[in-house]
């Protein structure tokens, strides 16, 4: 068994310190269990627009398969997203063998 860090609560809900949890060692020929529910689509960041000060919004585009999904988000929502990303990717980063951070994102399918 090895130990990874697991962040259970994002800052918006009251930040708690990361805790360590033992996990089974994954063999090199096995795929690790995905922590993100299958209801989330795989996407790549396409672009980010400047802030529209008149509406206090920002645009974010994603490549999803062969299509482009463009979202218009309120600046406060984006600030919350940035805080959550910082929490999960920086403060609770514990590299796995692939170099990706390993965090507990156990949520019901959305």
Residue 55 maps to a domain:
yes
Domain carrying residue 54:
2-26+40-91
- Domain tally, the chain: 1
pLDDT for residue 8: 40
Integer Cα distance of 59 and 78 in angstroms:
10
Integer Cα distance of 65 and 108 in angstroms:
24
Residue 65 maps to a domain:
yes
Residue 104 maps to a domain:
no
pLDDT for residue 31: 80
pLDDT for residue 96: 54
pLDDT for residue 110: 47
Residue 105 maps to a domain:
no
Low-confidence ranges of the chain (pLDDT < 50): 1-27, 97-99, 101, 106, 108, 110
CA distance to 59, 76, 81, 96, 98, per residue, from 26 (Å): 39, 39, 31, 10, 12
Residue 13 maps to a domain:
yes
Residue 22 maps to a domain:
yes
Give pTM, 2 decimals.
Answer: 0.55
């Amino acid at each position: 068994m090895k130990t990874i860090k697991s962040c259970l609560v994002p800052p918006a809900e009251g930040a708690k310190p990361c805790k360590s949890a033992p996990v089974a060692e994954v063999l090199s020929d096995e795929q690790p269990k995905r922590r993100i529910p299958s209801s989330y689509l795989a996407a790549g960041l396409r672009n980010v627009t400047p802030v529209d000060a008149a509406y206090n919004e920002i645009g974010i585009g994603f490549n999803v398969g062969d299509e482009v999904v463009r979202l218009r988000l309120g600046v406060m929502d984006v600030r919350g997203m940035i805080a959550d990303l910082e929490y999960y990717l920086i403060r609770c980063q514990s590299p796995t063998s692939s170099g990706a951070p390993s965090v507990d994102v156990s949520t019901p399918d959305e």
